Structure 1
Amino acid sequence: MSFQLIANDRAMILPNNRPHTTVVLAMSADGKIADQGRSPARFASPADKDHLEEQIAAVDGVLFGAGTLRAYGSTIRVLKPQLIQQRYQKLLPPQPVQIVVSASGNIDRQLSFFRQPVPRYLLTTSHGAKPWQNKTEFDQVIVCQASTKSKINWINALEILSAMGLKRLAVLGGGEIVAAMLAADLIDELWLTICPLLLGGNNAPTPVGGEGFREIVAPRLELVSAKVIVSEVFLHYRRQREDDLSTL
C-alpha cells in the first residue's frame, strides 16, 4: 500500500553562514523515539532503514548526541553502491562526516564507532575537549561553548561547520539536541517516520525534548509530503518562519 501527498515546493532562503539542517527520526505511533529504558530503537522497518541511508547519503555531515552513540555503539554508513556513486558524481567523499555532540566529552573509546571507516568530528566544550587532546580518534575537535559552560553554542557551532565546508546536515537526535537547535531556529526540515507500535512511558524520549515550547511560540511546520508504506507513515515537514507565514 502506498499513498503520497505533496505540497507546493517553495525555495528556502537560508543564512549563508550555516548549513541546511534536516532532522531524521523514527518514532512510535505515540511519539516516542525509544522506550522508557532508552534502549536502542529497533522498531523501524527495512523501508525506513533504506530511507535513513538515502537521507544520510544526501548530506555533508551527520550530527547526533553522545547518548545516541552510547545506545547504538556505532553509526550508520552509506553502503549501497548506487548511493556512494551518487556522492562521487557530486564530488563528495563516500561517507559524510559523523559529528558527535558531547558537552562532557565522556565517550567510551572502545565503541565500535571508532573502528568504522568514517570521518569523525567531536562538537564539545573546552571541558569536554580535554580528554581528547593529542588523541587520534576524532579528526576534528570543535569547541563551541555557550555562556553557561556546560552547553554548546549552537549558532557558533553551525557557523564553524559551514566554514569547514559542510553545507547540509542530517540531525539524528536525540530529542534534547533537536530541542536546542529548534530554540535557536536552526532546524529547516524534518523527516519523521511513524511506526506501528505504542511505547508509552512518562520518561520515554520524544523527537523534541527539553523544557518544551508554549503554544504561542511553538515552532510551526508545513507538510511537504506524506507517504504510507505498508504500516509506516513517512512525513516530511518544512520549518515555517515569519517570512513564510507573511506570504500565506
Structure 2
Amino acid sequence: MQRIPDAIQLTDLANEKLADLYAYPPDPERSWLRVNFVSSIDGAVTGTGGVSEVLGTPADKRVFHMLRELAEVVLVGAGTVRAENYGGAQTDPRFRSALYARGIGGHPAGDPPPIAIVTASADLAPDHRVITTARTPTLVLTTAAAPTARKRALADAGAEVLEVGDHLIAPQAVPAALTARGLRRVLCEGGPQLFGSLAGAGVVDEVCLTTAPLLTGGSARRISVSHEEFARQMMPAHVLFDTDGTVLTRWVRT
C-alpha cells in the first residue's frame, strides 16, 4: 500500500528546497506534463466572479510562481486566457538560470517560459495582453482549418502560430508539438476542458492541487471536465500545508 507522505509546513521551506520538491525529471527524453489547479474544499474551480484568482491564497501564489520558474512552457486553453486576462509570464532570470544549472527546470539564459495557447479556431485577439506583454513569444496551437486571417493577424502581432491538427487538436498532439520545439517540461494551468482532454488521453504525468480553505457552494465546475469517464491511478508525492489552512498536494502518475 502506498504510504501517504508526511505533511510539511510551507513556511519552513526556502525557495531552493521548494524547487527540489517540485523538480522536473532531469533531462526528460519526452514531454513531462504537469497540471496545476486550485479548488475550494467543496471542489469548485472558481470562486465568486467565476475566476480562480478568488481562491488564491499566499501559499498557492508562492507555489504557482515556483511552478512557472521551473517550467519550460506554460500551457493553457484560450477560454482561460480570456477569463483570467492572462499576460506574459513574469519570472526571475537569475533563479531560472540557477534552476537550469541544477538540472531541474528553468532556462539557461533565464528567459521566461512562453505561454502556449490551445485554440482550434485561433480565436484570440491579436492585441490581447498575453501577446503584447510577452517577453518570450507566445505560442498559439491551432489547426489548418482555422481562419487564415486570424492566424496571420496573430503572427503579425508577434505570436508563433503552430498548426497541430487539421480540424481538431488531438490531446496527444499538444505535448508532441511542444517536444518538437524542445519544450519538454510543460506546466498546464487549465482550464478544466483542456485538463480533462489531456488526462483522458493519458498524457498527464502529475497534478499539483491546492485546496483553499473555503466553502463556496454554487454551481462552479470541477477542475477536470470530459465527455467520457476514465480512471488514472495517481500516487502522492508530497503534502504541504500553510498556517491559514491551505493544503498543497502533488500527485504523480504510477
Match of 1:124 in 2: 142
After TM superposition, list the pairs within 5 Å mapping 1:163-202 onto structure 2.
Answer: 163-202=180-219
Q: Please give the per-residue CA displacement for 1:29-82, whole angstroms capped at 9, x wherever unaligned.
A: 111211476335322112211111111111110000111110122236233465
Measure, in 2, the Cα distance between the counterparts of 1:158 and 1:219: 18
Question: Mind listing any 5+ residue stretches in structure 1 that lack a counterpart?
Answer: 6-10, 241-248
Match of 2:63 in 1: 51
Structure 2 vs 1, CA of residues 144 and 72 (structure 1 numbering), >3 Å: closer, same or farther?
same
Match of 2:250 in 1: 236
Contact residue 93 and residue 109 of structure 2 kept, 8 A: no
Match of 1:8 in 2: none
Contact residue 94 and residue 110 of structure 2 kept, 8 A: no
DSSP 3-state at the match of 2:74 = strand
Q: Normalising by the residue count of structure 2, what TM-score does the alignment of the two structures yield?
A: 0.79
Structure 2 vs 1, CA of residues 46 and 122 (structure 1 numbering), >3 Å: closer, same or farther?
same
Structure 2 vs 1, CA of residues 82 and 33 (structure 1 numbering), >3 Å: closer, same or farther?
farther
* Identity score, percent: 23
Question: Mind listing any 5+ residue stretches in structure 2 that lack a counterpart?
Answer: 1-5, 10-23, 102-106
Opposite residue 205 of structure 1, the aligned amino acid is R
Measure, in 2, the Cα distance between the counterparts of 1:155 and 1:14: 21
> In the TM superposition, what is the alpha-carbon distance from 1:94 to its structure 2 partner?
1.7
Structure 2 vs 1, CA of residues 101 and 237 (structure 1 numbering), >3 Å: closer, same or farther?
same
DSSP 3-state at the match of 2:145 = helix
Match of 1:140 in 2: 160
Match of 1:220 in 2: 233
Q: Please give the per-residue CA displacement for 1:143-172, whole angstroms capped at 9, x wherever unaligned.
A: 1226xx2x3122223222111100110000
1:61 is the counterpart of 2:77: no
RMSD: 2.8
Measure, in 2, the Cα distance between the counterparts of 1:187 and 1:92: 28
Measure, in 2, the Cα distance between the counterparts of 1:40 and 1:71: 9
Name the stretch that deviates more: 131-140 or 93-102: 131-140
2:8 aligned residue (4, 13, 25): 4
Contact residue 72 and residue 184 of structure 2 kept, 8 A: yes
Opposite residue 145 of structure 2, the aligned amino acid is H
Measure, in 2, the Cα distance between the counterparts of 1:138 and 1:87: 28
Q: Please give the per-residue CA displacement for 1:102-137, whole angstroms capped at 9, x wherever unaligned.
A: 112111233222221232000112233621226323
Measure, in 1, the Cα distance between the counterparts of 2:28 and 2:92: 32
Measure, in 1, the Cα distance between the counterparts of 2:151 and 2:110: 25
Q: Normalising by the residue count of structure 1, what TM-score does the alignment of the two structures yield?
A: 0.80
Contact residue 45 and residue 52 of structure 2 kept, 8 A: no
Contact residue 20 and residue 168 of structure 1 kept, 8 A: yes
Q: Report how many aligned residue pairs link the two structures.
A: 226
Contact residue 28 and residue 184 of structure 2 kept, 8 A: no
Structure 2 vs 1, CA of residues 129 and 95 (structure 1 numbering), >3 Å: closer, same or farther?
farther
Contact residue 44 and residue 195 of structure 1 kept, 8 A: yes
Q: Please give the per-residue CA displacement for 1:84-109, whole angstroms capped at 9, x wherever unaligned.
A: 44256451542012101111211123
Match of 2:20 in 1: none
